[in-house]
Chains A and B, each alone.
Chain A
Amino acid sequence: AQRVTQPEKLLSVFKGAPVELKCNYSYSGSPELFWYVQYSRQRLQLLLRHISRESIKGFTADLNKGETSFHLKKPFAQEEDSAMYYCALSPTGFQKLVFGTGTRLLVSP
C-alpha cells in the first residue's frame, strides 16, 4: 500500500531562517512525488514535482530513493511562505494522488 508521512503538524520559524518540511513515503514501485500548498483563503495548488527538478518560490525538493524521502527546503523563509503544505505521491501509471497529513508552516517576522 502507498503511504505518505509528514511527521510535523506545525513548523514555526523566523523570517530569514532555513526551512525543511519533511516527507517520507512508502511504495514498492517508482512513484512520482509532489508538494502541494494551500495559502490562507486560497485553493490547494501544485508547488513542485520531483520529475521537473525545478525551484519554485525558492523551494526545492530532492527525491532520495534510499531514504524514501522527498523533503521540501528553502534557505531563507519569507512571511508569505506561511501556508499548509502537503506532500503527495502518485503511483506509477495512475492519476490518483495519495496525500500526507500536511504541515502548517508559520513564518514569523
Chain B
Amino acid sequence: DGGITQSPKYLFRKEGQNVTLSCEQNLNHDAMYWYRQDPGQGLRLIYYSQIVNDFQKGDIAEGYSVSREKKESFPLTVTSAQKNPTAFYLCASSISSGTYNEQFFGPGTRLTVL
C-alpha cells in the first residue's frame, strides 16, 4: 500500500512535554512538508524539506523542530516552547523541488494538550 502514513492518529500530551509526530512515505518523493490546521485558519506551513539532511522553516516554525535523516521519514517534534500546540497536523510530500509538483497528504495527527 503506497502513500503517506502518519502516526499516531490521536495524541495527548501534558503541558511541558515534548512529543514527536511520525510521517513516513514510500512514494520516493524528495520533498516533504508539515502543516498545522486550525479551525478557521486553513493550513499553515511549519517546516519543509527538499532533500535529505536539509530543511527550512515555514511560516510558523517557532516551538517545533524536525529532522530529515532518511528520504522516507520526516518526523516533527512539538516542543514545550510551542505555546498553543493543540491542533491537527498534516504531513505532505511531493516529487521534487524547483517547479511546483502536486503535494500528497497524509491522514493527519490530532494533538491535544491536556
Query: In the bound complex, do residue B107 and residue A43 qualify as a contact, i.e. CB atoms below 8 Å apart?
Result: yes
How many of A's residues come within 8 Å of B, CB to CB? 21
> Taking the complex as formed, is A96 at the interface, i.e. its CB lies under 8 A from any CB of chain B?
yes
Q: Report the separation of the CA atoms of residues A80 and B42 in the bound assembly, to the nearest whole angstrom.
A: 22
A44–B105 CB distance below 8 A: yes
A108 within 8 A of B: no
Collect the chain A residues with CB atoms within 8 Å of residue B97's CB.
Answer: 95
Can you list 14 A-B contacts with CB-CB less than 8 angstroms, sorted by A residue number? A6-B42, A32-B100, A43-B106, A43-B108, A86-B42, A86-B43, A95-B50, A95-B100, A96-B58, A97-B43, A97-B45, A97-B103, A99-B35, A101-B41
B73 at the interface (CB under 8 A from A): no
A46 at the interface (CB under 8 A from B): yes
Where chain A touches its partner, the secondary structure class is loop
- Give the CA-CA distance A86 to B50 in the complex, in Å: 23
Interface code B101-113, partner A: CB below 8 Å = 1, 0 otherwise?
A: 1111111100000
Task: With both chains docked as a complex, state the minimum distance between the C-beta of B110 and any C-beta of chain A, in angstroms.
Answer: 13
CB of B40 within 8 A of CB of A93, answer no
5 nearest CB pairs, A to B = A101-B42, A99-B43, A44-B105, A99-B42, A90-B100
Q: B: which residues have CB within 8 A of A?
A: 31, 33, 35, 40-45, 48, 50, 58, 90, 94, 97-108
With A43-B106, A44-B90, A90-B100 as given contacts, are A96 and B40 in contact (CB-CB < 8 Å)? no
**B50 — which chain A residues lie within 8 A by C-beta?**
95
Min CB–CB distance B105 → chain A (angstroms): 4
Cα of A94 to Cα of B42 in the assembled complex, Å: 20
Q: Which residues of B contact A102 (CB under 8 A)?
A: 42
Task: Mark each residue of chain A from 35 to 60: 1 if its CB lies under 8 Å from any CB of chain B, else 0.
Answer: 00000000111100100000000000
Minimum CB distance partner of A88 in chain B: B43
Q: Please, how many angstroms separate the alpha-carbon atoms of A109 and B104 in the complex?
A: 31
B42 touches A96 (CB 8 A): no
CA distance A90 to B101 in the complex (A): 10
Q: Is A65 an interface residue (CB 8 A)?
A: no
How many angstroms from the CA of A106 to the CA of B47 in the assembled complex?
Answer: 32
Chain A, residue nearest B40 (CB): A101
